[in-house]
Structure 1
Amino acid sequence: MHLNPYLFFNGQCESAFKFYEKCLGGKITAMMTYGESPMAEQTPPEWRNKILHAHLMLGDQELMGADAPPEMFEAAQGFYVSLHFTNPSEAEHIFNALEENGTIRMALQETFWASRFAMLVDQFGTPWMINCDPREGE
Structure 2
Amino acid sequence: MKANITILYNGQTEEAFNFYRSIFGGDFGRLSRMSEIPDAPPMPEDQANKILFMDLPIGDNLLMGMDCPASMPPVNVGNNFMVTIDTASEEENTRLYNKLGEGGEIKIQLGHQFWGAFFGMVTDKFGITWMLSYVNQEQS
TM-score (norm 2): 0.50
Q: Is the 8 A contact 2:56 2:64 kept in 1?
A: yes
Structure 2 letter corresponding to 1:72: P
Q: 1:69-108 alignment to 2 at 5 Å?
A: 69-70=69-70, 71-77=72-78
Offset, 1:73: 2.5
Counterpart CA distance in 1 for 2:79 and 2:73 is 17
Deviations 1:106-131 (A, max 9, x none): xxxxxxxxxxxxxxxxxxxxxxxxxx
Q: Say which SS state the counterpart of residue 46 (structure 1) adopts.
A: helix
Q: 1:1-138 alignment to 2 at 5 Å?
A: 1-70=1-70, 71-77=72-78
Distance 1:29 1:48, change over 3 A: same
Q: Is the 8 A contact 1:31 1:55 kept in 2?
A: yes
Q: Is the 8 A contact 2:7 2:80 kept in 1?
A: no
Q: Which runs of 4+ in 1 moved over 4 A?
A: none
Q: Say which SS state the counterpart of residue 28 (structure 1) adopts.
A: coil
Offset, 1:78: 5.3
Offset, 1:37: 2.6
Q: Say which SS state the counterpart of residue 11 (structure 2) adopts.
A: coil
Counterpart CA distance in 1 for 2:48 and 2:80 is 29
Q: Say which SS state the counterpart of residue 32 (structure 1) adopts.
A: strand
Counterpart CA distance in 2 for 1:49 and 1:37 is 11
Counterpart CA distance in 1 for 2:29 and 2:80 is 25
Offset, 1:74: 1.3
Q: Is the 8 A contact 2:5 2:63 kept in 1?
A: yes
TM-score (norm 1): 0.50
Structure 2 residues not aligned, in runs of 5+: 82-140
Q: Is the 8 A contact 1:20 1:26 kept in 2?
A: no
Offset, 1:45: 3.4
Moved more, 24-33 or 40-49: 40-49
Q: Is the 8 A contact 2:31 2:55 kept in 1?
A: yes
